Structure 1
Amino acid sequence: MTFKHMTIAAGFAATTFILSTAAAFATSAQSTAALNVRTGPGTSFSVVDTLTPGENVEINECAENGWCYIEHEGPDGWVSSNYLEPVSGGSSGGSGEDCSFSFNIGSGGPSLSINCGDSGGAPADPAPAPDPDPAPPAGNVACFYTGPNFTGSEFCHGPAVLNTLDGTFNDNIASVKLYGSAKARLCRNANLGGICKNYTSSKSSLPVSIRNKASSLRIFTGFIPVPLPVAPVTHSTGPINLKSSFMANLDNGNVGSPGADIWYHAVNPVEKYIEPRNGAKLALGDKSNRGYAGCKTESFSSNPISIWAMPVGSYVCVKTNQGRISQFRLNGYAGTTMKLGYTTWK
């Protein structure tokens, strides 16, 4: 088999592509691997698309570092010529021949040639190998992008919790690509707070509920982690000395004030009740100390509770007329005055 050396040019007459004077011609090539298409000639530029192995492209110009500008059906951009070859059976090299591209830098600038068959002449001076486009991350890794379809600025991370994001990605993640067994949880607020969304496969465009709204995230494998319970925040707490026929406001601990939640109603010396007021509701339940979480799930009622049903040491859950969860304990009596201790949560 003879050696044929064909240099790409308009009608294959010129020998050089020079970046500063982009040629007005193109030659066909195909990708040898999954290859990122970038906005400029190097890996520091953002990704705009990805070629599939064997995908046909047109080469328009090349830079001195071995990167070439290509056009194809997707967004156009720059790729490393290390991962391009002549189109199989195309006119550049002849059907069935072993052809490859050769990138060289001479006195006139960079040139890209097609070599077919066994070399019978002196090989061209080898050019410094350009930095290849990075291969997909190995292992369980999640990559996040500021643009849809895995474009724009990118960062990748293995399993971890990122309670905050830097200025480039905070409220600015539009797509997610997952590798290996990696999964991702994106949350609107810092520290995995607010609305969160879980993803077990890549998403080329996140839904509007989380797109460009994430401020923290978690990369994990295995089962989707159960969110930690929200720690209750105390709104008001303290003792209340509730005299017979008086009312108490559990949103602020005041006795006899407007907006009261409970009334110590003495019908007579024997028949006495704790009654909800102004839309508040009560739940005696099992009289145990249930705290915020337990009281929140109680079945509340507008019915009064007889004081004989709540001996000293009993806890009563309350939903205040402001909609807050509260709980008070009957600590004892001083005469007919009920000595209560209460806590109301936000």
Structure 2
Amino acid sequence: MDFRRFSKTAALATMGIVITASSAFAFTAKSSTALNVRSGPGTGYNIVDALYTGEKVNVNKCTKSRKWCYVTHSGPDGWVAAKYLKRVGGHKPKPTPTPYPSDPDITFGFQFGSGGSSFTFGFSTDDGYTTPYEPKPHKAKICFYSNAYYKGKKACVDAGTNNRLLSPKWNDRISSIKVIGDASVTVCKHKNYKGICRTIDNDIPKLGFRLNDEISSFKSYRY
């Protein structure tokens, strides 16, 4: 037996399996809402871009938890919340019931030999990613208050809502903000999202002096 030839064949077979597994996973999806794109798989990572509702992206891989997927599109690429992605065309992956089973390994094996003797070689690999889990979306809202500490007049909008210029009742009159569920909001001092802007993904009981009673436009997102 020529073990050098065998090793080369096995190595090529291994490479082929890895490439096939990666290529088979990639698919096209669209965002079901305005959605933040982050530098890593979690809300603690920086926001690098945002998808608009219905924007198509290429899904390259997802975490084992099925919560985050890495996407590429016509803008900075990054990680988005998988539950707001909907596969375009083909079979829609079914949600996996809790508890989630471990991801199946990809296995490969071959046998060669003649007569009564044979030699079998096999291996398995796990690329660490799986099809995104798509549970029902949670409530995601942004609530604005005219006074600090969530007092005074109140107005709530669903995540994904944008406003280039607030009405006179709210323009330059927001002092505190609550973020409910899987949401974040970018607030700006001037209309059309200009001037000083700040992205908020947690409750703010009292806005700083640069934005307190100075907000004129906002964009909100789901994770």
Q: TM-score, normalised by structure 2?
A: 0.44
Q: Which has the higher contact order (CA 8 A, sep 6+)?
A: 2
Q: TM-score, normalised by structure 1?
A: 0.30
Structure number having the greater helix percentage: 2
